[in-house]
Amino acid sequence: MTSTIKAIVFDFGGVLLDWNPHNLYQSYFPNQPQAIDEFLEEIDFYAWNAKQDQGRSFAEGVAELSAKFPHRAELIQAYADKWEKSIAGEIAGTVKILYELKAMGYPLYGLSNWSLETYAVIKDYPFIKEFDEVILSGKVGLIKPDPAIYHLLLSKIAYSADECIFIDDSLVNVEAARDLGMRAIHFKSPEELERTLKEHEVF
């Protein structure tokens, strides 16, 4: 490895896994993506789901949101009951890159906003076993882009911020990593990720 990059840090959802609430709710709103978006906006889904990512139980989250939106209670409960349907599978191109990086000798780390309850479902994906360490928001009670979760990761690994590349599909999370001195890539596609890694002389 000629690059000054010594370790690679991956987000999960939107980078390695095709997670999207549309995947689940399309059976409730057939061929109506706009209706799904309107529903998600109405209940402020992403802010609500972030609380589960930070450690709140789904039971508590569903009860609280259903009380605010009783006419949406069935749909809210569906997310808890059928959560695994929100994942359409691996993003194959990124997973291929992950395995290539591992074969080259790079230590790999996971840094993900993810509920501890639902992690039980995804931890069986084979690529999860390739990580040297996973910092899961739902386990540690911290959530990106809070700098504290990045500091926690750095405290657990043998590399400084400028020796790490961080890959995330959320620009705000990428910017937070850059503010701490990490080289961060805003993920858009496996093809673009591969090109950017080559620019950093990782490949």
Residues 26 and 58 in one domain: yes
- Do 109 and 75 have their domain in common? no
* Tokens of residue 73, six digits: 């209670």
Please give the Cα distance from 147 to 47 (Å, whole number): 18
> Angle, to 10 degrees, between the axis of helix 190-199 and the axis of helix 92-103?
30
Q: Is the pLDDT assigned to residue 64 strictly greater than 60?
A: yes
Residue 89 is which amino acid? G
> Do residues 130 and 76 both lie within one domain?
no
pLDDT greater than 70 at residue 1: no
Structure tokens given for 14: 């939107």
Please, which pLDDT band fits residue 2 given cuts at 50, 70 and 90? Answer: low
CB 156 within 8 A of CB 135: yes
Q: pLDDT tens digit string along 12-31?
A: 999 999 999 999 999 999 99
pLDDT single digits (tens) 123-164: 999 999 999 999 999 999 999 999 999 999 999 998 999 999
Domains of the chain: total:
2
pLDDT of 14 reads: 96
Q: What is the largest CA-CA distance in the chain?
A: 58
In the chain, which ranges are continuous DSSP H helix?
A: 21-25, 33-42, 45-53, 58-68, 73-81, 92-103, 116-122, 137-140, 147-156, 171-179, 190-199
**4-14 pLDDT, tens per residue?**
999 999 999 99
CATH number of the domain enclosing 176: 3.40.50.1000
**Two tokens, residue 114:** 């993810």
